[in-house]
């Protein structure tokens, strides 16, 4: 799975595309290049793709919009390439379903390491044995909401699916596994995502705020995921 994986490099700078492609091909990967959204859409619609390296700043349709498009249609791994130092862009990229990000200018060895990391995660998911139809599904209740741990889906009390991102699913799963325990931001980022934590990163607060709108009866007065001021969060 690792070597031979199909990687699409979507960046409007030809020098970057060519440099990354040459490096990845040298390490045994199949690489396809795209300069913008239309080319990327055509590639993913016609071919199996394992990883998309997606530039945030693209002409026309930007990387965030394309990441949403990809995530709505597949589980392809997405690594955002961003020249922005603003943490908000990184947080939004992860929020819409990206698996990781790499800030420009990046070291090719770091990029390769991150590609290998996301490929390991996706290969573990795909290799997991399927449960028999007779086996009970693992579900967790969050108030009137039900999280299906096997399907990675959230449902309301009438069985209607509520859209959640991969990161939101991982956060809910972490809370379910640590019910009744206070978790700080550092612990949540470590348990829900394996990227390096940055002290100024407030992405957990943003995600939990959005999760509350999906699972709380009154998000302004949360009863399920509670804030413990000065400490962290608690699944009641």
Q: Counting Cβ atoms within 10 Å, is residue 36 exposed (0-12), middle (13-18) or buried (19+)?
A: middle
Per-residue confidence (pLDDT) for residue 134, from 0 to 100: 42
Neighbouring C-alpha atoms within 13 Å toward the C-beta of 64: 11
Per-residue confidence (pLDDT) for residue 197, from 0 to 100: 45
**Positive or negative torsion for Cα 155, 156, 162, 165:** negative
Two tokens, residue 43: 């590639």
Peptide bond before residue 105 is cis, with ω within 30 degrees of 0 = yes
71, 78 Cβ separation under 8 angstroms = yes
Per-residue confidence (pLDDT) for residue 9, from 0 to 100: 96
pLDDT per residue rounded down to tens, the chain (236 residues): 455 789 999 999 999 999 999 999 999 999 999 999 999 999 998 888 999 999 988 888 888 889 888 888 888 889 988 876 556 666 776 777 788 888 888 899 999 998 998 888 766 545 444 444 444 457 888 888 888 888 888 888 778 888 888 888 888 888 888 888 888 887 887 777 644 444 445 677 888 888 899 998 888 888 899 998 888 888 87
Compute φ and ψ for 199, nearest 5 degrees: -55, -30
52, 70 Cβ separation under 8 angstroms = yes
Per-residue confidence (pLDDT) for residue 3, from 0 to 100: 57
Phi/psi zone of residue 65: left (φ > 0), alpha (ψ -120 to 50 degrees), beta? Answer: alpha
Per-residue confidence (pLDDT) for residue 64, from 0 to 100: 86
Two tokens, residue 25: 């091909």
Compute φ and ψ for 20, nearest 5 degrees: -65, -40
Exposure string over 211-226, b if 16+ CB within 10 A, otherwise e: bbebbbeeeeebebbe
Closest CA to 40 of 1, 4, 5, 7: 7
What domains are defined for the chain?
Answer: 6-126 (3.40.50.2300), 139-235 (1.10.10.10)
Compute φ and ψ for 101, nearest 5 degrees: -140, 155
């Amino acid at each position: 799975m690792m070597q031979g994986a199909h990687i699409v490099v979507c960046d409007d700078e030809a020098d970057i595309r060519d440099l990354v492609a040459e490096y990845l091909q040298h390490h045994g990967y199949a690489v396809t290049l795209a300069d913008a959204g239309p080319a990327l859409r055509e590639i993913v619609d016609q071919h199996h793709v394992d990883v998309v390296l997606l530039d945030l700043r693209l002409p026309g349709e930007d990387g965030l919009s394309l990441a949403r498009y990809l995530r709505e249609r597949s589980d392809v791994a997405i690594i955002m390439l961003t020249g922005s130092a603003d943490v908000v862009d990184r947080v939004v990229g992860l929020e819409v379903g990206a698996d990781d990000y790499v800030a420009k200018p990046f070291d090719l060895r770091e990029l390769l390491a991150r590609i290998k990391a996301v490929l390991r995660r996706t290969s573990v998911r795909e290799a997991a044995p399927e449960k028999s139809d007779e086996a009970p599904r693992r579900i967790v209740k969050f108030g009137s909401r039900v999280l299906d741990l096997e399907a990675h889906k959230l449902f309301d009390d009438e069985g209607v699916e509520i859209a959640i991102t991969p990161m939101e699913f991982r956060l809910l799963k972490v809370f379910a596994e640590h019910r009744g325990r206070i978790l700080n931001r550092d612990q949540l980022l470590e348990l829900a995502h394996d990227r390096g934590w940055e002290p100024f990163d407030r992405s957990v607060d943003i995600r939990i705020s959005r999760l509350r709108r999906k699972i709380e009866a009154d998000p302004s007065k949360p009863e399920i995921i509670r804030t413990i001021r000065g400490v962290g969060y608690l699944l009641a």
